[in-house]
Amino acid sequence: MAAETLSKNRYALIPYLVTGLIPFGVGTLLAGVAGFPVRWRVWLAGTLALAALILAAAGSRMAFAPAEGRWPGQGLLSPKEARPLAYAALIFAAALGLILQFGAHTGYWTIPLGGLGLLGSYFYFAPPFSWHRRGLGEAVGGLCFGFLPVAAGLYLQTGHLLTEVLLYGLPLTFAGFNFFLLHGFPGPEPEGPPPGRSLAARLGPAAGALIFTLVNILTIAALVFDLLFPANPLPLQTGFILLIILAVFNQEFIKRKGYRREAGIDRLCVLACLLHCLMGLVFAISLWRRW
């Protein structure tokens, strides 16, 4: 039997929360680089709202899909206990959204952006959408851990978007897609999570590995593009190169069929989380040094 799986590690929620919040900071720093004044109170309120949405997703998973995938916190709360947590997080996020739009005057798209975050967080597991059961969860999750928070972090500071948001939002989206894809992989061993309706579970491990490969190639290509054609002289080039090396390492692990073992899938989940988190940090530090 494999060691304690990622899904049973309640403390693993912390890096998941961090890697989901960093892209919002990337968008905020991008506003500063573009010459706009950064309102740190807006950043703080937006970060708290995003954290609440991520916690709402965690509560939704425990309430509506407690045995689904390899997400952390399995068994932490019963479905009956998790629902009030999810509802409280949603109310808190909604209150902050209203304060941002009508108190901080962050723009007309503030609440619609929050609505998209709601659709991709709480309704990732909750009906009627339950994206994780429709084979769409990976795409929704990638957007919510990539382009959407980067765009939101920029918009709340500036009131509009810039094309440079794509240079940071797309690689994070691709990495986020594979991050969610791996967490829905079917368990190859009896002690693995029960079969679900995720994209990899629908298509099978081999097809899931192929999809991972294709999206990982897009991730590497986006990082290479950022490295070779930056919007400005690019600080921290070494960080971008290390991200590419880590993505290639993850691909080699897939090539060796590490997903055929439960421990191997857990390791891939950790590596995917690490890649996404480090990518956000490299982007943030690079922008900070440009500011």
27: left (phi over 0), alpha (psi -120 to 50) or beta: alpha
Mean pLDDT for the chain? 91
Alpha-carbon distance of 79 to 63, in angstroms, equals: 4
- Asked if residue 2 has pLDDT above 50, the reply is no
Query: Is 70 exceeded by the pLDDT of residue 10?
Result: no
SS3 6: helix
Q: Pick left, alpha or beta for residue 135 (phi over 0 → left; psi -120 to 50 → alpha; otherwise beta).
A: left
269/228 Cα distance (integer angstroms): 29
Q: Give, to the nearest 10 degrees, the angle between helix 110-120 and helix 40-64.
A: 30
Give the whole-angstrom CA distance, residue 32 versus residue 105. 18
274: helix, coil or strand?
A: helix
How far apart CA 99 and CA 115 sit, in angstroms, is: 15
Residue 13 or residue 110, greater confidence = 110
Work out the number of other CB atoms within 10 angstroms of the CB of residue 1: 9
3-state secondary structure of 262: helix
- Which one has a higher pLDDT value, 85 or 71? 85
What was the pLDDT predicted at 201? Answer: 87
CA angle 7, 8, 12 (to 5 degrees): 70
Q: How far apart are CA 263 and CA 259, in angstroms?
A: 8
Residue 123 pLDDT: 96
Give the CA diameter of the chain.
55
Give CA–CA dist 274/267, Å, rounded.
Answer: 10
Residue 1 pLDDT: 37
**174-187: b (≥16 Cβ within 10 Å) or e:** bbbbbbbbbbbbbb
- 93 has pLDDT over 50: yes
Taking only the tens place, the pLDDT of each residue in 227-241 is 998 877 888 899 999
Give pLDDT, residue 139: 96
Measured CA to CA, the distance from residue 119 to residue 117 in angstroms comes to 5
pLDDT attached to residue 135:
85
How far apart are the C-alpha atoms of 62 and 242, rounded to whole Å? 35
Structure tokens at 193: 């999570």
- Residue 6 is predicted with a pLDDT of 53
Handedness of CA 187, 192, 194, 197 (dihedral sign): negative
Cβ-count burial of 57 within 10 angstroms (0-12 exposed, 13-18 middle, 19+ buried)?
A: buried
Amino acid at 30: L
Q: CA 150 to CA 156: how far, in whole Å?
A: 10
- pLDDT for 186: 85
Per-residue burial over 217-247, b if 16 or more Cβ lie within 10 Å, else e, is ebbbebbeebeeebbeebbbeebbeebbebb
pLDDT tens figures, 110-136: 999 999 999 999 999 999 999 988 888
Distance CA 197, CA 137 (A): 10
